Homo-oligomer: A and B are copies of this chain.
């Protein structure tokens, strides 16, 4: 039977790969939404570039998930495209941060900065994974995310310390996004198992370094770290905002309009 929604056997390894893949895909998708609409041609290219890097990372991670997923009934296996196009919103495992609507360029930059300041050291640490495939993905990704972090840091500083208007917009972006940053550092039992095997690192170990990076850049940007300590979560277990459903409706429309077709 041609199916239009897949089920996924979420072993810890598969779940891990899907979470990271979904982060990259959804954030990459959000960036791709701006293509042709950025404030300058240079920034249009840069955002597309980051988007492309993220979509590439997502593909590598989905491929890994497919490889590690126990085979389905009838020997069928999932693929990068079944994961991306045939899962419902509740099956997505990305951070809430990644699915938030773009808003203005300032919010796009701030979201990317907050994420890159986490994911770049994360992938750097993951280069030592006992899993050679993950280590290879990490090595490639880290080169890319190092650039994302540099690029967004520069813009956070430039806009934070630009005009009063740009300063206010960046501060507002930061306040809007802040409560979504905590989820990056969460781990759960599934991940703990993989940590114990040395396959993955503990994301919470990145927190202090992240905080230092963020504080340093915000200081140079004359922006103030929000006080609020309350952090949102839910994305990792499939509890998403209302925004993701709209994104998926658009993204998945074509493959789901014709089950089994090749595009």
Contact = CB atoms under 8 A, between A and B. Distances in A.
Interface string A219-263: 000000000000000000000000000101110110011110000
B258 A5 contact: yes
Q: Is the interface of A mostly helix, strand, loop or mixed?
A: helix
A4 interface: yes
Interface in A200-229: none
A27 B2 CA distance: 34
Contacts of A257: 4-5, 88, 252, 256
Protomer copies: 2
Contacts of A256: 253, 256-257
Interface residues of A, number: 13
A4 B259 contact: yes
A253 B255 CA distance: 11
A248 B143 CA distance: 39
A5 B259 CA distance: 11
A256 B4 CA distance: 9
A56 to B, nearest CB: 25
Nearest to A254: B249
A257 B89 CA distance: 12
Max count, chain B CB within 10 A of own CB: residue among A246, A248, A256: A256
A88 B257 CA distance: 9
Nearest to A245: B253
Contacts of A249: 249-250, 253
Interface of A: 4-5, 88, 246, 248-250, 252-253, 256-259
17 contacts: A4-B4, A4-B257, A4-B258, A4-B259, A5-B258, A88-B257, A246-B250, A249-B249, A249-B250, A249-B253, A250-B250, A252-B253, A252-B257, A253-B256, A256-B256, A256-B257, A259-B259
For the complex of A and B, the 5 pairs showing the least CB-CB separation, nearest first, are A249-B253, A256-B257, A249-B250, A256-B256, A4-B257
